[in-house]
Structure 1
Amino acid sequence: MSATVSFPVPTPDGPRPVTVSYARVGRGEPLLLLHGIGHHRQAWDPVVDILATERDVITVDLPGFGASPSLPDGLDYDLATTTAVFSAFCEALELDRPHVGGNSLGGLLALELGRGKHVRSVTALSPAGFWSEAERRYAFGVLLTMRRLSQRLPLPMVERLSRSAAGRTALTSTIYARPTRRSPEAVVAETLALAGATGFDQTLRSGGSVRFTDDIPGIPVTVAWGSRDMILLRRQGVRAKQIIPRARLVRLPGCGHCPMNDDPALVARVLLDGSR
C-alpha cells in the first residue's frame, strides 16, 4: 500500500515542508530503495517481493517524480538538498540508519547517504557520478531524448505499443536489456512517469557538475553494473572501485541500466548480500 509523509527540511530561509510518496512491505532490517531520474518507485517492483522475505522494504518516489510532489520554493534539486530530504525522511519514518540501495541517480544518492554515515550499508546499481565529461554528455543526451519522446507520444500510441514485444522494446530498450519482461501496464506507467516528472529538468541541470570522488570508509559498499548498460557504460564501475577501494564490485551479466527488471533474482541477491 502506498502512503505519504511530510516533514520539514532546513533551508537558509527557514524549514520548508516536503512531502514524498512511498510504499513499505516486509519484515527484517530496513532497506530503503531509491530510483533513477525520470523513473518512479515501481521500478523496484520486480525485486520487492523477494526482498520483503528478509527485509523491511521501503520504496520511495523522489521529490518531483512518480507520485511525490515537487520540492517547495527555496529547495533546489541538487545533491545536497536531496540527501537532506532523505535524511529527514528516514527520521520521519523512525528509520535508524537503514540499509540503502539505489539505481542510477538513486545509486548516487545512496552513496552520498553512505558518505554522510546516514545508513548502515550501500548497494548502488549503475550509480551516476563516475563518468568522464564525454560520458556525462552522452548520458544526458540519451535521457533528454527519452524524455522528449515520452512527452510527444500520445497516450493511445503508448498503450498500443506496450501490448507487443516489439513495442515494449521500442519504448524501453534503452534502460532494459530484456524489455519484453516488463508488463504492458508497467511500460505505460513508467512512460507517463517520465513525461510528467516535474523535477526532471532541474535535477538534470544540477547534475552537470556532479562527480563522486570520496571514499566511504566504515560501512559496507557494493557497486553493481549491468554488462549491457546503454546509459552509464560499465567501465565506470572500475572507476567507482578505484575511488571506493573497499567496495565490492559486482558484474550483472545480461543486464541493462535498470537491472531489477532484467534479472530480479540476481539483483535481489546482490541487494540482500550487500545489506548483510
Structure 2
Amino acid sequence: MPNSAMVSGKAPLVLLHGVTMSAKVWDELIPLLSPHHEVVALSALGHRGGPPPTRRPARVSDLIDAAQRMLDDLGFDRPHIAGNSIGGWMGIELARRGRASSVCALSPAGFWDAGTHGQTGGVGRLRRIAALTRITRRIQPLALESATIRRLAMRDIAIHADRLTPARALDAATDLLHCSITEDLLTTSEQIAPLNPLPCPITLAWSAHDAIVPAEVNGRIARERLPQARFEILPAVGHVPMIDNPDLVARTILASTGASIRDEPPNPIRD
C-alpha cells in the first residue's frame, strides 16, 4: 500500500525505495516535498508493505511491472518519479515505458555489466548486511539504542546513520527481515540498457560516499548509457542519501521536477 501525502491540484511525485527497504524510508522527505507535489511513496513487490510476488525467482522487471500497475491504480499517467538504488532503476525503466514526466535517480542500481565487479562488489556488501541483520534480530531493539551501533551497523549504506532514531533504525532492520525476494534480486542478471535520447528529463544524483554502487564505477557506466542525463554528485552522503541528509535529497528531487531552485545545489559534474 502507498504511504502518501496527497494534495489536490499538485503534480504527482512517486517515490520508489531501494532493495530490502519500504516506503517508510521516505518518511522524512514527504513533509519537505508535499508543499510542491502530491506525494506517494510506494512499497515494491516482495518488500514490506508491497504486493507479494507471483513467480520466483522474482526479477527487477516484475517490480517494474508491479509499480506500473500501482500507477494505473492511482490514476497517474506520467508522474514525476524519484527513486533510490533499485528504485532509481525502476524509475528509469518506467520512463522508458513512457510513464514518467521526470526521473531523479539517486545512486541507481543496474548500471553494470552483469556478473562483473560493478555488480558483485555491492551485492557482497548487501549480503553481509542481510546476514548480520538476521543474526542479530533478537538483540536489535536494545543494540540500536546506541548511536555508535546504528552508525556501524549501517555504515555500508550511510555515513551518518547515528542521526536516525532507534525506532527508525529498527524499522529499516524490520524492512530487510520482511523482504521475501532479497536473494532473487541480488542474483539478477538484468541491467539497464542504453537510453538515448531520453524520453523525459532524467537526473542521476550519485552519492559521493556510495559503497554499494560507487560513482567511479557504476556512475561512469551510467553516464555512458544515459549520455543526455544530468549527472550530479551529492556530497557527504552514502548509498541511501535520505538517511544522511533529507534536506539535500529533497532539494535535489525538487530541482529535477522543476518545482523549486535549490539554494545549495550539489556539486555538478559536467563533461
Give the alignment's TM-score, normalised by structure 1: 0.87
Aligned counterparts, 1:241-260, within 5 A: 241-260=223-242
Task: Name the structure 2 match of 1:145.
Answer: 128
Task: Name the structure 2 match of 1:98.
Answer: 79
The code of the aligned residue for 1:25 comes to A
Q: Which moved more, 1:238-247 or 1:109-118?
A: 238-247
> Structure 1, residues 156-205: CA drift from partner, whole Å, max 9, x if none?
x1111211111111221111111111111011111121122112122222
Say which of 17, 20, 26 aligns to 1:44. Answer: 26
Task: Name the structure 1 match of 2:144.
Answer: 162
Aligned counterparts, 1:1-276, within 5 A: 21-27=1-7, 28-73=10-55, 77-132=58-113, 133-155=116-138, 157-205=139-187, 207-235=188-216, 236-276=218-258
Q: Which moved more, 1:227-236 or 1:64-73?
A: 64-73
- Report the CA distance between 1:250 and its aligned residue: 1.2
Q: Is the 8 A contact 2:57 2:181 kept in 1?
A: no
Task: Name the structure 2 match of 1:7.
Answer: none
> Structure 1, residues 69-90: CA drift from partner, whole Å, max 9, x if none?
42124x7622332222111111
- Report the CA distance between 1:26 and its aligned residue: 4.0
- Report the CA distance between 1:263 and its aligned residue: 1.3
> Structure 1, residues 94-147: CA drift from partner, whole Å, max 9, x if none?
112111111001110111011111111111000011135112111111111111
User: Do the aligned partners of residues 69 and 118 (structure 1) sit closer, same or farther apart at CA in structure 2, a change above 3 Å counting?
Assistant: closer
Unaligned 5+ segments in structure 1 are 1-20
The code of the aligned residue for 1:142 comes to R
**Cα distance in 2 for residues equivalent to 1:56 and 1:238:** 33
Q: Is the 8 A contact 1:32 1:99 kept in 2?
A: yes
**Cα distance in 1 for residues equivalent to 2:206 and 2:222:** 10
Q: Is the 8 A contact 2:96 2:199 kept in 1?
A: no
- Report the CA distance between 1:215 and its aligned residue: 2.6
**Cα distance in 2 for residues equivalent to 1:197 and 1:229:** 22
User: Do the aligned partners of residues 150 and 253 (structure 1) sit closer, same or farther apart at CA in structure 2, a change above 3 Å counting?
Assistant: same
Per the alignment, in what secondary structure is the counterpart of residue 72 of structure 1?
Answer: coil
> Structure 1, residues 228-276: CA drift from partner, whole Å, max 9, x if none?
1111111222321222122111110000000012111111011111112
Per the alignment, in what secondary structure is the counterpart of residue 2 of structure 2?
Answer: strand
The count of aligned residue pairs is: 253
**Cα distance in 2 for residues equivalent to 1:87 and 1:33:** 13
- Report the CA distance between 1:93 and its aligned residue: 0.9
**Cα distance in 2 for residues equivalent to 1:212 and 1:154:** 38
The code of the aligned residue for 1:77 comes to A
Task: Name the structure 1 match of 2:261.
Answer: none
> Structure 1, residues 4-36: CA drift from partner, whole Å, max 9, x if none?
xxxxxxxxxxxxxxxxx2111043211111111
Per the alignment, in what secondary structure is the counterpart of residue 90 of structure 1?
Answer: helix
**Cα distance in 2 for residues equivalent to 1:109 and 1:215:** 17
The code of the aligned residue for 1:99 comes to H
| Identity rate, percent | 28
Q: Which runs of 4+ in 1 moved over 4 A?
A: none
Q: Is the 8 A contact 1:224 1:237 kept in 2?
A: no
Task: Name the structure 2 match of 1:11.
Answer: none
The code of the aligned residue for 2:12 comes to P
**Cα distance in 2 for residues equivalent to 1:69 and 1:211:** 24
Q: Is the 8 A contact 2:83 2:108 kept in 1?
A: yes
**Cα distance in 2 for residues equivalent to 1:121 and 1:217:** 10
Unaligned 5+ segments in structure 2 are 259-271
The code of the aligned residue for 1:93 comes to L
User: Do the aligned partners of residues 215 and 115 (structure 1) sit closer, same or farther apart at CA in structure 2, a change above 3 Å counting?
Assistant: same
